[in-house]
């Protein structure tokens, strides 16, 4: 059907008008129209698009919902990692943070941007040429889940940016949350429907955003606030964080009205106290405030440490404490064999969360606090930290209570327990014989950051162990299709999926494999360092404690555990069985002699690479000992400029940083095979 220019213009004007009102309503919190008139405009546009489908554009206000439900979320790799923040719980820790930053910057005072720490779900929004193309969860910081269709349903998130001066690529980071009023109303509806209620607004926000059917997300009372940027190409931004936020608001992205700029740490602490007093009256949940050094060039100078920036810190609110009673004390056995006493509590509500358990840590802590079954205790909960018993109220203690002592045998496998000299932890000696450790070990092995065996979750692991189908993690690769299909809530299709996931997991990386083994003190970072340094698993297994402690960031404790792990014959047997089952990664034992060529070198990738995805390029650089940064500074050694390179290329040229094209980059990588 031919559409007249008049109709086309009418639709375009309606889209522009509705988007403008969305901006004033959701971003500026200053609506220009009553809801009834806004609804009339929306219905008029819907009627036009229904009559003339060719008028529908991807950024039309009517297209926020309508995509086909997904079967699963795909992965999105963050061009720049979404790092977590270091925490401060005392004023002195904030002052120490400021002191360290001033010393590194060699200045007397620092200007801070201060803002609320929202209790929701961190997300990344990627805009290209002003159009929202990807929405992703934070995930593990390196990659998250693709929730593009879901974030498009949030009216606080513009599908198209306002104006025309935005960068060609703009990644916006912020928090999706559920306001208290919406959370309470939603829970009331669930109660009326006889459904299970949400525990707290944070869980409600996370669960709502991760619906496979975007139309369900659209019905949830979610909001979004921007607090940072990630990757930016093809445009320049101000040199102050606070000014960048104002720019985001001008482009249609909501920001917090509670953010301020202050001059020193005392002003930061005053802001903290002010917000703490307002906490209960705020329309949404927060668990603290955040201090960010406002000058971007100072942020770049300070850089990052491990998973956190050196230029920002979260000042958490005091833990909330309540009274309850210890009903019983149980013992949990972890994947490393550690026995952890857990207090079973009479249910008590803390900030919208019902607490029924609290950790007692170890026997020393039980003795120090003298916690007994029947005691009335004060329980503390702070953010996501596991609740703990703070102290006992002896005057409320019932008569005839007995001091609690951890059992001398593992409550799961009945093996002897031991306490190593110098350690507070009591451990089961059952090793892989202990069913509890097998469950934990297998869950860890299959987890997303380890072998990433999709579908092998806690319930399935429990069945495998309880039915004695798996005695070591290697057994999962020998189970037949019939064995998988015979498990509860499984079937032919589910068995097909798990078999495919197992086959896919066999192709991994050395770093992931090391992490998956569950060696004590070997987390993701340590596993990556070991893999990059040694390249070969055989060389890691042969390494002595002396060899290991020579590696930066590998301490004596981690070195001791690594050596001890590979000395155990049953561990070696499991590794051999895993490799025999087909678990593999690219390994080149000759590479370490050449790796120093890029050790200590910092690279920045910009633009599009034709020969490989950016994730592969980053992995290959890291395998050669290089560091890959998301921003250009004087400390950058190389900038790799692909097609349509943006502002990073310009900045590199201004700073005199060496720029290489893709051909030069590929030639540089030839000193080592792709990891």
Residue 595: pLDDT band (50, 70, 90) is very low
Whole-number pLDDT of residue 172: 97
Cβ neighbours for 61, distance < 8 A, ≥ 6 positions apart: 15, 18, 19, 22, 42, 45, 159
Whole-number pLDDT of residue 424: 81
Cα–Cα distance for residue pair 45/31, rounded to 1 Å? 19
472 pLDDT more than 90: no
Q: Is 12 helix (H, G, I), strand (E, B) or coil?
A: helix
Assigned domain for 403 exists: no
The single-letter DSSP state of residue 170 is: E
Catalytic residue (choose from 117, 152, 439, 618): 117
Residue 594: pLDDT band (50, 70, 90) is very low
Assigned domain for 674 exists: no
597 pLDDT more than 70: no
CA 195 to each of CA 179, 183, 188: distance values in angstroms, whole numbers, following the listed order:
20, 14, 10
Whole-number pLDDT of residue 505: 95
Same-domain status, 116 and 215: yes
300 pLDDT more than 80: yes
Write down which residue in 396, 421, 456 finishes a domain.
396
Cα–Cα distance for residue pair 478/213, rounded to 1 Å? 35
| Residue 339 β-bridge partners | 333, 426
Cα–Cα distance for residue pair 19/160, rounded to 1 Å? 9
Assigned domain for 299 exists: yes
Cα–Cα distance for residue pair 83/303, rounded to 1 Å? 12
Assigned domain for 217 exists: yes
566 pLDDT more than 60: yes
Pairing type for strands 112-118 and 286-293 reads antiparallel
Whole-number pLDDT of residue 302: 93
CATH of the domain at 56: 1.10.287.610
Assigned domain for 294 exists: yes
Closest Cα partner for 477 from 442, 524, 449, 515?
Answer: 442
Domain extent for 259: 86-316
Residues in the chain, how many?
675
464 pLDDT more than 80: yes
CA 353 to each of CA 116, 199, 206, 346, 632: distance values in angstroms, whole numbers, following the listed order:
21, 6, 15, 13, 43
673 pLDDT more than 70: no
237 pLDDT more than 70: yes
Is the distance from CB of 114 to CB of 291 less than 8 angstroms?
A: yes
Write down which residue in 264, 297, 316 finishes a domain.
316
Is the distance from CB of 185 to CB of 94 less than 8 angstroms?
A: no
Same-domain status, 256 and 272: yes
149: enclosing H helix or E strand: helix 148-151
Cα–Cα distance for residue pair 217/124, rounded to 1 Å? 17
| pLDDT winner (highest mean) among 86-95, 440-449, 495-504 | 495-504
674 pLDDT more than 50: no
Same-domain status, 216 and 288: yes
Cβ neighbours for 103, distance < 8 A, ≥ 6 positions apart: none
Is the distance from CB of 120 to CB of 176 less than 8 angstroms?
A: yes
Whole-number pLDDT of residue 256: 94
Is the distance from CB of 639 to CB of 649 less than 8 angstroms?
A: yes
Tokens standing for 254? 């909501």
What confidence tens digit (pLDDT) does each residue in 489-498 have?
899 999 999 9
Q: Helices (H) and strands (E) in the chain — how many of each?
A: 24, 24
Whole-number pLDDT of residue 322: 84
Assigned domain for 473 exists: yes
Same-domain status, 138 and 195: yes
What is the percent of the chain where pLDDT is above 90? 45
68 pLDDT more than 60: no
Assigned domain for 409 exists: no
Backbone phi, then psi, for 179, in 5-degree steps? Answer: -60, 155
Residue 675: pLDDT band (50, 70, 90) is very low
Same-domain status, 198 and 293: yes
CATH of the domain at 649: 3.40.50.10190
Pairing type for strands 353-359 and 338-350 reads antiparallel
Cα–Cα distance for residue pair 589/579, rounded to 1 Å? 17
Same-domain status, 570 and 604: no
Q: In what order do the strands lie in the sheet with 658-660?
A: 627-629, 602-606, 638-641, 658-660
Least confident residue range of 159-168, 188-197, 397-406, 498-507? 188-197
Same-domain status, 189 and 292: yes
Indicate whether this model's pTM tops 0.75.
no
CATH of the domain at 516: 1.10.150.20
Whole-number pLDDT of residue 480: 95
Cα–Cα distance for residue pair 15/11, rounded to 1 Å? 6
629 pLDDT more than 70: yes
What confidence tens digit (pLDDT) does each residue in 350-391 have?
756 788 999 898 898 899 899 999 999 988 775 556 788 888
Q: What is the DSSP string of 428-472?
A: ES-GGGSHHHHHHHHHHHHSTTTT--TT--HHHHHHHHHTT--SS
Same-domain status, 204 and 333: no
Q: What is the DSSP string of 217-232?
A: HHTS--EEEEEEEEEE
What confidence tens digit (pLDDT) does each residue in 71-83 have?
678 889 999 888 8
276 pLDDT more than 80: yes
Is the distance from CB of 631 to CB of 258 less than 8 angstroms?
A: no
583 pLDDT more than 90: yes
Tokens standing for 605? 């990738």
Cα–Cα distance for residue pair 595/589, rounded to 1 Å? 11
CB atoms within 10 A of CB 104: 14
Same-domain status, 281 and 166: yes
Whole-number pLDDT of residue 561: 78
Write down which residue in 505, 535, 568 finishes a domain.
505
- Residue 174 half-sphere exposure toward CB, CA atoms < 13 A: 23
Count of domains in the chain? 6
Same-domain status, 475 and 604: no
Cα–Cα distance for residue pair 307/321, rounded to 1 Å? 29
Tokens standing for 59? 């950024």
CATH of the domain at 200: 3.30.470.30
The single-letter DSSP state of residue 62 is: G
Assigned domain for 640 exists: yes
Is the distance from CB of 145 to CB of 74 less than 8 angstroms?
A: yes
Mean pLDDT of 227-242: 93
Same-domain status, 340 and 446: no
Geometric angle at alpha carbon 110, from 108 and 113, rounded to 5°: 170
590 pLDDT more than 60: no
Mean pLDDT of 245-261: 95
CB atoms within 10 A of CB 550: 12
Whole-number pLDDT of residue 175: 95
Same-domain status, 249 and 383: no
Whole-number pLDDT of residue 352: 61
The reply to whether 263 belongs to the active site is no
């Amino acid at each position: 059907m031919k559409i007249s220019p008049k109709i086309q213009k009418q639709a375009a004007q309606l889209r522009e008008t509705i988007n403008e009102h969305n901006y004033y309503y959701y971003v500026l919190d200053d609506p220009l129209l009553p809801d009834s008139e806004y609804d009339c405009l929306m219905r008029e546009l819907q009627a036009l698009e229904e009559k003339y489908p060719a008028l529908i554009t991807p950024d039309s206000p009517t297209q926020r919902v309508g995509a086909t439900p997904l079967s699963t979320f795909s992965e999105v790799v963050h061009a720049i990692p979404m790092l977590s923040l270091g925490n401060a719980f005392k004023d002195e820790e904030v002052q120490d943070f400021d002191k360290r930053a001033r010393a590194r910057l060699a200045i007397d005072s620092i200007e801070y941007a201060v803002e609320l720490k929202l209790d929701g779900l961190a997300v990344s929004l990627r805009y290209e040429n002003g159009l929202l193309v990807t929405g992703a969860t934070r995930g593990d910081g390196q990659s998250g889940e693709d929730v593009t269709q879901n974030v498009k349903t949030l009216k606080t998130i513009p599908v198209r940016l306002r104006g025309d001066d935005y960068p060609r690529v703009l990644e916006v980071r912020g928090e999706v949350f559920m306001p208290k009023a919406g959370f309470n109303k939603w829970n009331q509806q669930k109660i009326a429907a006889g459904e299970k209620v949400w525990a707290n607004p944070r869980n409600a926000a996370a669960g709502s955003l991760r619906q496979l059917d975007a139309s369900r997300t659209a019905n949830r009372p979610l909001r979004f606030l921007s607090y940072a940027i990630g990757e930016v190409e093809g445009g320049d931004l101000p040199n102050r964080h606070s000014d960048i936020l104002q720019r985001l608001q001008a482009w249609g992205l909501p920001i917090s009205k509670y953010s301020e700029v202050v001059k020193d740490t005392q002003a930061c602490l005053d802001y903290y106290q002010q917000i703490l007093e307002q906490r209960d009256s705020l329309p949404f949940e927060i668990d603290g405030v955040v201090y960010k050094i406002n000058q971007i060039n100072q942020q770049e100078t300070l850089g990052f440490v491990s998973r956190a920036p050196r230029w920002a810190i979260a000042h958490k609110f005091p833990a909330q404490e309540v009274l309850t009673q210890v009903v019983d004390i149980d013992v949990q056995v972890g994947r490393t064999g550690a026995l952890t006493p857990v207090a079973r509590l009479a249910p008590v509500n803390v900030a919208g969360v019902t607490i029924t358990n609290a950790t007692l840590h170890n026997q020393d802590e039980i003795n120090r606090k003298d916690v007994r079954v029947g005691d009335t205790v004060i329980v503390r909960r702070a953010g996501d930290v596991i609740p703990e018993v703070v102290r006992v109220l002896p005057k409320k203690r019932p008569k005839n209570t007995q001091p609690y002592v951890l059992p001398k045998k593992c409550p799961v496998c009945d093996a002897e327990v031991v306490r190593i000299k110098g350690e507070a932890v009591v451990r089961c000696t059952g090793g892989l014989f202990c069913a509890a450790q097998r469950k934990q070990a297998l869950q860890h092995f299959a987890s997303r950051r380890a072998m990433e065996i999709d579908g092998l979750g806690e319930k399935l692991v429990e069945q495998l162990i309880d039915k004695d189908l798996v005695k070591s993690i290697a057994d999962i690769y020998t189970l037949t299709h019939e064995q998988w299909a015979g498990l509860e809530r499984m079937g032919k299709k589910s068995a097909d999926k798990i078999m495919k996931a197992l086959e896919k997991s066999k192709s991994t990386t050395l770093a992931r494999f090391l992490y998956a083994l569950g060696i004590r003190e070997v987390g993701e970072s340590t596993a990556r360092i070991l893999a990059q340094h040694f390249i070969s698993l055989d060389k890691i297994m042969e390494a002595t404690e002396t060899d290991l402690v020579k590696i930066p960031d590998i301490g004596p404790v981690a070195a001791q555990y690594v050596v001890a792990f590979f000395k155990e014959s049953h561990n070696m047997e499991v590794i051999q069985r895993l490799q025999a089952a087909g678990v593999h990664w690219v390994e080149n034992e000759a590479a370490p002699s050449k790796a120093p060529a890029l050790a200590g070198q910092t690279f920045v990738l910009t633009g599009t690479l034709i020969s490989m995805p950016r994730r592969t390029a980053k992995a290959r650089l890291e395998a050669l000992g290089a560091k890959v940064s998301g921003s250009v500074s004087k400390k950058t050694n190389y900038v790799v400029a692909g097609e349509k390179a943006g502002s990073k290329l310009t900045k590199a040229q201004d700073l005199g940083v060496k720029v290489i094209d893709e051909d030069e980059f590929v030639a540089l990588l030839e000193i080592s095979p792709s990891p």
